Amino acid sequence: MAEPRIRISIDGPVATLAIARPDKLNALDIDMLKELAAACDTVETTVGVRVMILTGEGKAFSAGGDIRAWGGMDAPEFGHQWVRFGHRVFERLASLRMSVIAAVNGHALGGGLELAACADIRIAEAHVKIGLPETSLGMVPGWSGTQRLVKRFGAQIVRRMVLGGEMFTAEEARLQGLVDHVVETGSSMAAARAYADRISLRGPAAIEISKLMLAVSSGEDNGTAVEALGSILVAKTGDLKEGVAAFSAKRPADFKGEW
């Protein structure tokens, strides 16, 4: 069996998800996208995990999509199996119940930046370069680069990267709001862990619900977040317990409106 290229480790309330293809600058292919989706499911359903750190092994965070993986696809395959599937996987990552911190230990380009943008907090090392070079290849950002990035960082900075091909240093990215903190080279994981420990001391229910409310207010996720909030609220009520008990006993429910 091949070694996993999306590796998960758990230490107390903190899970770490590492992209493990350093020889290819952690470029993503279809199998890795599938592994990433499965890893999100694993972390989300692990009781006690409150924060996840996302990083890359080796000298890159992620160079984005592997050109060899998509370069030979025909148009329908490229649009459906590559772009749309990748978009769904990134949406899964962005909507995790726990806070996600990206430890950007190396360059984050194209899909790599779109990946980092799925995190709630981005901590970048000083040497890092950030950009969206897709138009230089005759393509467009396809994993929410013109959608989530605009909502989170603003349209103009995304225009500069997409239309003008501008590349930013970590400090320039911080000044533009693309990353939250810049740290010395080699220290992003330590900084991310410190920030994760900070989050894990706060109320986990309050953090999860706050993340959902922020998604609604930013226009990133209305339907899913609203339904999740409503379901969480109803699950705590006496009415739900009564409804389930009545169903099991095959009797009419006696709802009392108990919160």
Confidence band of 215 (pLDDT split at 50, 70, 90): confident
Catalytic-residue membership of 134: yes
Q: What is the pLDDT of residues 158-169, one digit of tens each?
A: 999 999 999 999
In the chain, % of residues over pLDDT 70:
98
pLDDT of 83: 84
pTM: 0.90
Q: How confident is the model at residue 222 (pLDDT cuts 50, 70, 90)?
A: low
pLDDT average, residue stretch 203-218? 89
**Active site residue: 35, 125, 134, 220, which one?**
134
Mean pLDDT for 173-183 is 97
Report pLDDT for 255: 84
Confidence of residue 17 (pLDDT cuts 50, 70, 90): very high
| DSSP code per residue over the chain | -PPPSEEEEEETTEEEEEE--GGGTT-B-HHHHHHHHHHHHHHHTSTT--EEEEEESTTEEE--B-HHHHTT--HHHIIIIIIIHHHHHHHHHHT-SSEEEEEE-SEEETHHHHHHHTSSEEEEETT-EEE--GGGGT----SSTTTHHHHHH-HHHHHHHHTS---EEHHHHHHTTS-SEEE-TT-HHHHHHHHHHHHHTS-HHHHHHHHHHHHHHTTS-SHHHHHHHHHHHHHTSHHHHHHHHHHHHTS--------
Is 80 exceeded by the pLDDT of residue 208? Answer: yes
pLDDT digits (tens, 9 = 90+) for 59-82: 999 999 888 888 787 888 888 888
Band the pLDDT of 173: cuts 50, 70, 90: very high
Could you tell me the pLDDT band of residue 140, with boundaries at 50, 70 and 90?
confident
Longest CA–CA separation in the chain, Å: 67
Q: What percent of the chain has pLDDT over 90?
A: 67
Concerning whether 114 is annotated as a catalytic residue, the answer is yes
> Which of these is catalytic: 114, 125, 208, 220?
114
- Residue 223 confidence class, pLDDT cut points 50, 70, 90: low
